[in-house]
Amino acid sequence: MHRFEGLVAAAHSPMAPDGSVATGVVPLQAALHREQENVGVFICGSTGEGHSLTREERQELAEAWSSVVDQELRLIVHVGCNALPDARALAEHAGSVGASAISCQAPCYERPRTVDELVRFIVEVAGAAPDLPFYYYDIPSFTHVDFPIVDVMEQAGRLLPNLQGVKFTVDDPDAEAACLEMQGGRFEVLHGCDERLLDGLRLGCTGAVGSTYNYAAPVYRNLIDLMEIGDEIGASAAQEQAVRLVEVLLRFGVLRAGKAIMGMLGVDCGPPRLPSTPLSEAEAGELASLLDGMDIFPRALS
């Protein structure tokens, strides 16, 4: 199965001013990702507001993205839902439109109480698209499901032939390293903490999924290039750039600020869906001022 090597952007779900999904923006997003040399997009996850979208909207976005991706820009569809039938339907649909892989978070309302319950859930989801690589999406800060990842992967790996790996959005280098080492490196670990990408590379991750790769991939590509030539000092400096960027985003909310930045780059992804709200004019001006001079974006901010 194909392994992701490089940056996968956790894509925003574009929306019109009235809050409806605006799939006409997807080709502009894809062009920006190609410009930044991203190797893939991860849609309808946390950054993509997947849990705020209907099943039909998520399928509409998967279809729109499938029409603009190729072997150079691959598509991972997040299919996680609290309702198992919806998750299975999204997985099956992703397979039918030509996605490269699927991923699924743990259900976050009626949460699994044991590793066995979690694995039973993801086996049912992944089984709806048995020909697609499946990545378990571990993000306990959102789901509040926090089992040892080695236990989850070991048990799921015995039952799921299409278990490719894990999207690891946890600040736990020891657990990440343990997962990378499992069964002779059987599982792919997609590093999920942008401001800690350097840690993931040092551990041996070759692929990463992140929201800031939508608009700031050049700084991370520079970081990767510096690591490849053994320039630890330069790579650390590049990582500090990313940390400063994330600190700015957190002042406004990463989703809200990210969508604003996309607009500044000429790819208007519209407002976030309620309960999130777009930046006010004053907030947008403050954000632009804080970002000015960072020199990490692929285009000039407008």
User: For the chain, where are the E strands, in sequence order?
Assistant: 6-10, 40-43, 74-78, 101-105, 134-138, 163-168, 188-191, 207-210
- Active site annotation includes 259: no
C-alpha–C-alpha distance, residues 58 and 65, integer Å? 11
Looking at 109, 135, 136, 167, which residue is catalytic? 167
Only one residue has tokens 């208007």, namely: 268
| Positive or negative torsion for Cα 1, 163, 152, 139 | positive
Annotated catalytic residue 220: no
Q: Which residue has the tokens 């048995």?
A: 130
Residues 133 and 101 sit within 8 Å (Cβ to Cβ): yes
Using CA atoms, how far residue 257 sits from 55, 102, 268, in Å, is 25, 27, 12
DSSP tag of 230: T
Q: Which of 137, 213, 215, 220 is catalytic?
A: 137
Q: How far apart, in whole angstroms, are the C-alpha atoms of residue 115 and residue 137?
A: 14
Q: Which residues are catalytic?
A: 137, 167
